[in-house]
Structure 1
Amino acid sequence: MSTSSASAGAGPAPTQRLNAKVVGISIAAAVGGFLFGFDTSVINGAVNALSDEFSLGAGLTGFAVSSALLGCAVGAWFAGSLANRFGRIPVMVIAAALFFVSAIGSGLAFGVWDLIVWRVVGGLGVGAASVIAPAYIAEVAPAKFRGRLGSLQQLAIVLGIFVALLSNALIATTAGGSAETFWFGVSAWRWMFMIEAVPAAVYGGMALFLPESPRYLIRRGEVDRASKVLYDYTGEPDVNLKIEQIRTTLEREDTESLRDLVGERFGLKPIVWLGILLSLFQQLVGINVIFYYSTTLWQSVGFDESQALLTSTFTSVMNIVATIIAILLVDRVGRRVMLLVGSAGMAVSLALMALAFSFGQAGADGSVSLPDPWSTVALIAANAFVMFFGTTWGPLVWVLLGEIFPNRIRASALAVAAAAQWAANWAVSASFPTLSDIGLTFAYGLYAGFAALSLVFVYLWVPETKDRELEDMDSLRLSRSSRRG
C-alpha cells in the first residue's frame, strides 16, 4: 500500500482511533511482560525447597534468587542495538526461545550453579522483553491511547506474577509441599519452573504474526509496509504527514550508538539520566522483595507454607487490580500526578511495615513472630504498598520509558535505563536476606527512605508526557513548564 492511498483511504477523520487490531498487537507484544513477571517470581514458591535440597546459606540463597536479574541487565543492554539492527519482532522471538530453554533447564537442574546458569539464560529473555515490549507498543500506539496501551506491559507483568504464584500454590498443595514429589517422580519445585515452557512457546508463536514497528520500517526504507501498519493498526488520519514526521526524527539514527547518549551532565544527556533514575527508584523502593520473598516472609511471621503461598497469591491479585486502575486513569489524570501520589503512599506504607516489624519477637529457631495488632498492620501495610506501587510506579515507569526518549535514541536509551533497572533489582533482591538478618525494620525503613526520595525526584524533574506525540519528544525539556504539561 502506498502512502498516498493510505492517506486517501483515511478520509477526513480528525482524530486517531483505537481499533481492535492495535489493541491485539499490543496485547501480543505484552505477553513478553507476562513471561517477565512469571520468570522473575516463579522462584518465590521454590526458595525454601531448593535451599534445603542444595543446602544453601543465606548469601547463596539470595544469589540464586537474584541470579536471573544479572541476565536481565545484560539482555536489556543489548536488546536495543539488536532491535535497531534486526527489528523488534526477531528480538521478541529470541526472547521467547530463551524463556523456553530456561524453564526446562531450571526444572532439570542438578545443582545450584547449574540452576543459576539456567536462571541467567531466562534473565536474558526477561531483559530483552523489558526493552522491546514498551518500545514496540509506544511505536504502534496512537498518542491519545498510548498510556493505556503502554500500561498493558505492566498488566501482563502482574498477571505473570499472579499465574506464577497461583501455579506454585496449586503444585505445592497438590504435592503436599514444594519439596515433595509431583508428576512423574519429579519434585514439585522443579515443575514450578518447567511449567513456564508453555507460555514461552505461545509468546514465540504470537510474535511471528506481529507487524514490524513502522518506525523501524521507515528507517529501513520500507515505506509501503510502514504506511500499511500506520493506517491499519494505528488509525493514523494522515499517513503521509506521520511518515515525514518520523523521517525527520530518524535522520541521525543511521549512525545511532551508545555515544549518542553522551552529554555534558555527568557523561549522559539529561533525558537519559531521567530514564535511569526512574528505573532505579522503581526498584529501590523494594517492590520485588514482596514478590520474590513474600512466601518466606509470611512464613517467618507465623504462617504455614500453604497460608503463606495463599497470602502471596492474594497480594498478586491486588497488584492486578491496581494495574487495571492505572490503565483507566493514566490517559486521564496524567503520569506526573499519579507518580507523586504513588511515592507518598509507598513511603507511608513502607514506614508502617518498618514500625510493625520493630515489634517482632525472635524465636529459638530464629523465626520472627509479630504480636497483635502488628501482624495485621504489617499485612495491611504490605498490600497498601503493593496497591500504591501497582497504580503508579509499576506501570507508569514502563509507559514513560517508552515515551520520553526521542526517536533517534529511543532503543539505546531504553536499553540503558532498563539495564540500570535490572541492576538495581538484582542489588535489592540479593541484599534482602542480609538486610533481613540485620532486621526487617532496617530493611523496610531503607525502602521507605527511597520512596520519599522518589517523591522529591518526581516533583523536581519528571515532565508530563500525556497526549504528546513521540515525534515531539525531541523538544522535551526538564523544566517546570514541561512538567505542567
Structure 2
Amino acid sequence: MSFKHCHRLQTDRGSGLSPWPAVPSTSREGSTMHAALIAATAALGGLLFGYDTGVISGALLFLRDAFALSPLMQGVVTSIALLGAAVGAGFAGALSDRYGRRPLILVTALIFVAGSLLSAAATGLWMLLAGRLLVGLGIGVSSMLAPLYLAETAPAESRGAMVSLNQLMITSGILVSYLIGYAFSASGGWRWMLGLGALPGVILAGGMLALPESPRWLAGHGHLADARRALQALRGSSETARQIEAELDGIEADLAGEKRGGGRVSLSDPGLRLPLIVGVGLAICQQVTGINTVIYFAPTIFQAAGLSSASASILATAGVGAVNVALTLVAIRLIDRVGRRVLLLVGLAGMAVSLVVLGTGFLLGAGGALGWLTAASLTAYVGFFAVGLGPVFWLLISEIFPTEARGRCMSIATVANWGFNLIVALTFLDLVAAFGRPATFFLYAALTALGFLFTLRLVPETKGRGLEDMREAWAERGHTVPQSRG
C-alpha cells in the first residue's frame, strides 16, 4: 500500500459519522445480505413513486362521484401531486448535497406515509388535495434522488442497468396500483387504494437505517473512512482492497479538481448550455409525448374505447402496466449493451407510430374490433416508452452533466419534467373536450416525432463512460463542457 494510502488511513480513521450499522467487510455472506438489503430498500423507493403516481387512475373513477368533481377538478386532483413533485424536485438537489442522500430518502418515506394516510382519510376536497400534494412532494424528491444515488454508487460498466432498476420498480409500483385498484373497484374502495401506499413507506423508512450513504457524498464532506466502508459494502467481496482504494482515489481526485477550481460551475456558463438543453429537452419530451395521460387516465380512455365497466377498464389498464414492467426488464438487459441513443430512437419511433394508430382508432369510432385496435395500440405505445424514453431519460440526466454541476442540473431537468407533466395532465381532458381524442393523440404523435429529431441531433452516447469522463462524450458531439472554476 502506498504512503498516500497509509497516511489517509491514519488521518481519516474514526471520522465519527457512521452511515449505517457496521457490517463485517470480510464476510461474503454478510456483504451479500447487506447488498440485498440495499437493493430491496431502494426498490421500495421506486415502488412508492410508481404506486402513488398510478393509483390515482383507478381511484379517479370513484373520486369524481364521491366529491362531485368536474372535468377541471378531476385534472386538479390528478395534477396537484405533480405540482408537489415539481416543488420537491426543485429542493432535492440542494438538500441532498447539504444533508446527504440517505437522510433525505428517509424523510421522503415519511412524507409518503403522511400523504397516503391523509388522502385516504379525506372527508372533503381540500383534505384530499392536501394529501395528494404531500404525496407529490415525496414523488418529486424520490424521482431526482434515486437515479442520482444509484449513479453515484454503481460501477460504470453496470450503471445503466442499476439506474434503470429504479425505473423497473416505478413501473412495478404502477402495476401494483392498477391491481389494487381492480381489487377494490367492485366495492368502490378508493380510500384503500390511496391509503395502502403508506405500508411500503413505513417499510422504506425502517430500511433506511441500513442503507449506506453515497461514497461520493461522504468523501466530498471529508468522511473518507466512511466512504471506504460504503464502497466495501457496495462492492462486497467482488473487489479487492486495492480496487476499493483505486476507486476512492478517483473520487478524491475529482473532488480535488473541484476545490482547485473553486468547487462550482455557474449554471450560466456557456459550456453547460448544450447539456442543459439536452437534459431539459428530454424532460419535456418525456411528458409532451403524452405518456402520463395513459398512466393517469387509462381507465377513462378504455371506457371511451368501449369497455363500459370500471372493473373491466381497470383490469385492461393492469394489462398495460404488465407490459410496462416486462419491456422495462428488456431495456435493463439492453441498455449497457446497445447503448442509450439506440433505445431512445427506437422507442420514440415506435411511440409515434402507435399514437397515430391510436388516434386513427378513435377517429374511425370506438367499440368492437376498433376498441381492441385502440387497446393494442395504446399497449404498444406504453411498451415502446418502457424500452426507450422511460428508463433512458432518468439514466441520461444522471450521466450527462459534469460532476461539479450534476446535482443542480439534475434538479433543473427534474423540475422541467414534473412541470410539463403537470401541464399535460391539466390540459388532456380539456384538449379532448375541445378537439376530440383523435386530434389530441395526433398532436402527441407529432410532438413525439420532434423528440426523435431532437435525440438524433443532440443526444450523446454515454454507454460505458465513467461519470468523470463525460467531456469526451460531448467532444464527440462537437461541444465542450466547463472545468470547475470559481
TM-score > 0.5, shorter chain as reference: yes
- The Cα offsets for residues 82-135 of structure 1, whole Å up to 9 and x where unpaired, read as 000000000100110110000010011122222112111111111000111100
After superposition, residues 191-230 of structure 1 pair within 5 angstroms as 191-230=192-231
Q: Does 1:263 align with 2:272?
A: no
CA contact (8 A) 1:261 1:409 kept: yes
Instruction: Report what 2:376 is aligned to.
Output: 380
Percent of residue pairs identical? 38
Match of 2:112 among 66, 76, 99: 99
Give the CA deviation at 1:240: 3.1
CA contact (8 A) 1:214 1:227 kept: yes
Q: Does 1:396 align with 2:392?
A: yes
C-alpha distance 71-478 of structure 1, shift in aligned 2 (>3 A): farther
Which secondary structure does the structure 2 equivalent of 1:477 belong to? helix
After superposition, residues 408-427 of structure 1 pair within 5 angstroms as 408-427=404-423
One-letter identity of the residue aligned with 2:228: S
C-alpha distance 52-332 of structure 1, shift in aligned 2 (>3 A): same
Q: Does 1:332 align with 2:337?
A: yes
Cα distance in 2 for partners of 1:3, 1:194 equals: 51
Cα distance in 1 for partners of 2:282, 2:33 equals: 31
Q: Runs (4+) of structure 1 moved beyond 6 Å?
A: 254-257
Give the CA deviation at 1:355: 1.0
Cα distance in 1 for partners of 2:239, 2:268 equals: 33
- TM-score between the two structures when normalised by the length of structure 1: 0.88
Cα distance in 2 for partners of 1:23, 1:71 equals: 31
One-letter identity of the residue aligned with 1:262: S
C-alpha distance 4-455 of structure 1, shift in aligned 2 (>3 A): farther
Match of 1:473 among 467, 470, 473: 470
Which secondary structure does the structure 2 equivalent of 1:243 belong to? helix
CA contact (8 A) 2:305 2:374 kept: no
One-letter identity of the residue aligned with 2:99: F
Give the CA deviation at 1:263: 2.7
One-letter identity of the residue aligned with 2:363: S
After superposition, residues 49-128 of structure 1 pair within 5 angstroms as 49-128=62-141
Match of 1:444 among 441, 446, 451: 441
CA contact (8 A) 1:249 1:406 kept: no
Cα distance in 2 for partners of 1:323, 1:38 equals: 16
Cα distance in 2 for partners of 1:193, 1:31 equals: 17
One-letter identity of the residue aligned with 2:74: T
CA contact (8 A) 1:150 1:399 kept: yes
Cα distance in 1 for partners of 2:475, 2:112 equals: 38
One-letter identity of the residue aligned with 1:239: I
Which secondary structure does the structure 2 equivalent of 1:250 belong to? helix
Which secondary structure does the structure 2 equivalent of 1:260 belong to? coil
Which secondary structure does the structure 2 equivalent of 1:269 belong to? helix
Instruction: Report what 1:288 is aligned to.
Output: 292
- The Cα offsets for residues 196-218 of structure 1, whole Å up to 9 and x where unpaired, read as 11011111111221111010001
Q: Give the total of aligned pairs.
A: 450
C-alpha distance 272-356 of structure 1, shift in aligned 2 (>3 A): same
After superposition, residues 290-309 of structure 1 pair within 5 angstroms as 290-303=294-307, 304-309=309-314
CA contact (8 A) 1:98 1:124 kept: yes
C-alpha distance 78-296 of structure 1, shift in aligned 2 (>3 A): same
C-alpha distance 319-20 of structure 1, shift in aligned 2 (>3 A): farther
C-alpha distance 145-24 of structure 1, shift in aligned 2 (>3 A): farther
CA contact (8 A) 1:44 1:295 kept: yes
C-alpha distance 224-305 of structure 1, shift in aligned 2 (>3 A): same
- The Cα offsets for residues 48-94 of structure 1, whole Å up to 9 and x where unpaired, read as 21111211211111111111000000100100100000000001001
Cα distance in 2 for partners of 1:371, 1:123 equals: 35
One-letter identity of the residue aligned with 1:453: L
C-alpha distance 302-256 of structure 1, shift in aligned 2 (>3 A): farther
Cα distance in 1 for partners of 2:369, 2:65 equals: 32
CA contact (8 A) 2:306 2:371 kept: no
C-alpha distance 228-55 of structure 1, shift in aligned 2 (>3 A): same
One-letter identity of the residue aligned with 1:170: A
Q: Does 1:352 align with 2:357?
A: yes
Instruction: Report what 1:137 is aligned to.
Output: 150
Instruction: Report what 1:407 is aligned to.
Output: 403
Cα distance in 1 for partners of 2:34, 2:363 equals: 52
Which secondary structure does the structure 1 equivalent of 2:461 belong to? coil
Match of 2:56 among 43, 67, 78: 43
CA contact (8 A) 2:93 2:410 kept: yes
- The Cα offsets for residues 268-297 of structure 1, whole Å up to 9 and x where unpaired, read as 632122111111111111111111101111
Structure 2 residue ranges without an equivalent (≥5): 10-24, 26-30, 480-486
Cα distance in 1 for partners of 2:329, 2:370 equals: 30
Cα distance in 2 for partners of 1:467, 1:23 equals: 24
One-letter identity of the residue aligned with 2:274: P
CA contact (8 A) 1:256 1:409 kept: no
One-letter identity of the residue aligned with 2:149: Y
Instruction: Report what 2:13 is aligned to.
Output: none
CA contact (8 A) 1:95 1:129 kept: yes
Match of 2:425 among 423, 429, 437: 429
Cα distance in 1 for partners of 2:407, 2:41 equals: 20
CA contact (8 A) 2:305 2:367 kept: no
Q: Does 1:233 align with 2:222?
A: no
Deviates more, 1:404-413 or 1:152-161: 404-413
Which secondary structure does the structure 1 equivalent of 2:336 belong to? helix
CA contact (8 A) 1:3 1:239 kept: no
Instruction: Report what 1:183 is aligned to.
Output: none
CA contact (8 A) 1:30 1:133 kept: no
CA contact (8 A) 1:461 1:478 kept: no
Instruction: Report what 1:453 is aligned to.
Output: 450
Cα distance in 2 for partners of 1:79, 1:256 equals: 20
One-letter identity of the residue aligned with 1:96: A
Which secondary structure does the structure 2 equivalent of 1:48 belong to? helix
C-alpha distance 114-480 of structure 1, shift in aligned 2 (>3 A): same
CA contact (8 A) 1:140 1:214 kept: yes
Cα distance in 2 for partners of 1:109, 1:328 equals: 42
Cα distance in 1 for partners of 2:268, 2:430 equals: 36
